[in-house]
A and B are shown apart, each in its own frame.
Chain A
Amino acid sequence: MKPPPFSYHDPRSVADAVGLLTSLDNAKLLAGGQSLMPMLNMRYVLPDHVIDLNRVEGLSTITPRDGVLEIGAMTRQRDIEFSDVVGERCPLMAEAIRQVGHRQTRNRGTLGGSLCHLDPAAELVSVAAALDATVTVTGKSGTREIAFADFPIAYMTPAIEPDELLTAATFPCWPRGHGYGFVEFARRHGDFAIVSAAVLIEEDKTGKVTRASVTLGGMGPAPVRASEVERALIGEVIEEKRLRDICETLRKLDAIEDIHAPASYRQQLATVLPRRALIKAHERIAQGARA
């Protein structure tokens, strides 16, 4: 089994990559290759040109700035997993990334590749939605930023023009001491989730929730923010029974149906996984307060 014939390009700069994207027809960008290479091997995609980003300089960076973490598109998932600064500033991402594929795929797979491939059940896609990330894309008319909420325009289709490439994503960090939890259900470790829940909460001194972010992955064509639940949580004290009532409303979310699970099964998971993630987040706040 081998990929179909194509011309291979390995630019050294973002400008050269954009130049190639602008001048070549039917070109595909190759990042970590953990999704594109299988698709080439199985000939789901037949590009005339493959533009390999692995030799582009300056895209493998993890930069903490004031209140945000900027991560270059070609940063390997493995480097995110083992980054102290990610663990400190974006612990939700650190927890989620350990559930992305396996060691061998995380060594090659990149942040930018995951975000652009945009599998609706991909862990990093859910994390970007949960944290209200911003992605930076560069094309022939310059650089622009896209709020992650506007990034998926259809199933596995990002809002990137044909001459543009994603260079970085910026993740707003929640204050120290916040609670977080990433919980997914998959048949085997390393598989894409059937449904995942990514949650973040802040609590006041009396334990009442003051801010909440709840994201479900795997339900529809893109991760969904459960904004009704986020609002309902404000002022509540996290407690199992109350959470059951609040999360029960998630059963009415639209869900896809596929070989892995019927819609009703996903809707059931949508009521269970956020509750587990919220309890985890709450317990982490309590542990932090005791520590």
Chain B
Amino acid sequence: MSETRQIAVTVNGTRYEETVPVRVTLADFLRHQLGLTGTHLGCEHGVCGACTILLDGRSARSCLMLAVQADGHDILTVEGIAPDAETLHPLQEAFRDNHGLQCGFCTPGILTTLIEFLRDNPDPTEEEVRIGISGNLCRCTGYQNIVIAALDAAKRLRAEGKTP
């Protein structure tokens, strides 16, 4: 009944070799099997964007992928954004300083989405930011401070000459 497969994935720079039931989503694998509960699950059918991860550098909804499909791929989750346990990523700093979150549930998906977005577009307009995060739902902030934080993060990264 519960067919399984052996997979090898790299998550936030660490290689894991795991046995997974083939029907388990990548999101559940990250949370339940690897204990990386930073990836949040809101709708579990591809609408809310809370479970966004980067797969080989491209944002994807981890509730819409099977864990077996990640075999051989490289994954970045919100836990892998900060350079170390003591230091925030400039994007995270900008979110803290601009009050870019309230309850924080949507934040992991927004941060991962913005990592890809700011890498591709280091100097975005406000409208471009709004389109960039249009696949992420936030029920607290009204998005305003998220947009301000994203623009501030872009500015900080440009000033530091960094790519996210």
Contact = CB atoms under 8 A, between A and B. Distances in A.
Q: Taking chain B's interface residues, is the majority helix, strand, or loop, or is none over half, making it mixed?
A: mixed
B66 interface: yes
Contact of B3 (A8, A78, A101): A8
Contacts of B64: 33-34, 37-38, 105, 108
A83 B163 CA distance: 23
B63 A41 contact: yes
B24 A2 contact: yes
Interface in A27-63: 30, 33-34, 37-38, 40-42, 50, 52, 54
Interface string A1-33: 111111110100000000000000000001001
B50 to A, nearest CB: 11
B135 A190 contact: yes
B23 interface: yes
B49 to A, nearest CB: 6
A52 B135 contact: no
Contacts of A38: 45-46, 64
A105 B61 contact: yes
A1 B25 CA distance: 9
Interface residues of A, number: 31
| Majority SS at the chain A contact face | loop
Interface in B1-55: 1-3, 5, 22-25, 28, 44-46, 49, 52, 55
Given A2-B23, A54-B69, A104-B61, A42 B116 contact: no
23 contacts: A1-B44, A2-B24, A3-B25, A4-B23, A7-B22, A8-B23, A33-B65, A34-B61, A37-B46, A37-B66, A40-B23, A41-B25, A41-B63, A52-B68, A52-B69, A103-B59, A103-B117, A103-B132, A105-B135, A107-B55, A107-B58, A107-B59, A188-B134
Interface of B: 1-3, 5, 22-25, 28, 44-46, 49, 52, 55, 58-61, 63-66, 68-69, 113, 116-117, 131-132, 134-135
Going nearest first, the 7 A-B pairs with the smallest beta carbon separation are A102-B135, A8-B22, A38-B45, A37-B64, A1-B44, A107-B58, A104-B59
Interface of A: 1-8, 10, 30, 33-34, 37-38, 40-42, 50, 52, 54, 78, 101-105, 107-108, 188-190
